[in-house]
Homo-oligomer: A and B are copies of this chain.
């Protein structure tokens, strides 16, 4: 969380996409390459003032974003947003692209104003890996029972304590409202998980995917899902899915599900 900085009265929203492979996650950290670190460096050069950003969804190392949203406060107004976008995209490495820059209401926060986040996760079930998409897909390599996985996913929809599906955060609630969770088989040998929630705790999507894949392999049964939730124990949900299959797909600000723009 970034505090509003003194004397900074112009708030902006910035939308960006990135491939997470070569980043140690979104959140800035000393000495390692992060999306926020690269973005804030480029912003500071392009806008000629030090800029701190707040994001809608802190993605972990190796996780991608089709649409991440950040907010920032500036001491000056931007005259030409298009010129700043072009300048940022020249300054940024090719694995991060800024797609939009727009003024926001004073004090607006990409994090606190967000009403929902949608993620997707890609799984390949073909026995052999696809070298062209290896950075964007978890190669499970065995057939999965999608009907069983959808039964498990449906049992995760609703307001639950997701402690079994989260990396524990001391003193923070792990209660979340999952509004949609569904597996789709759009092409042969490939499954996509689409999940939408008010917000997610850390590693929650990857834990849900890990659990569904255990069910899809037949190692566990979908009917065990309520018991896994009730256990509030990270071991109960089985192994966490790897990061490369996960994409922050979209962030909602008050729009209804139907009204979501740009959904493919």
Contacts and interface: CB of A to CB of B under 8 A. Distances in A.
B18 A187 contact: no
A97 interface: yes
Interface in A110-156: 128-132, 134, 136
B19 A187 contact: no
Interface of A is mostly: mixed
Interface in A166-208: 187-188
A43 interface: no
Nearest to A64: B132
A247 B132 contact: yes
Given A188-B264, A264-B187, A264-B188, A132 B128 contact: no
A28 interface: no
A47 interface: no
Contacts of A134: 19, 94-95
A66 B247 CA distance: 23
A99 interface: yes
A18 B247 CA distance: 23
Interface in A212-264: 247, 264
Report, nearest first, the 8 A-B pairs whose CB atoms are least far apart.
A19-B131, A19-B132, A95-B131, A99-B128, A97-B131, A97-B129, A18-B131, A17-B131
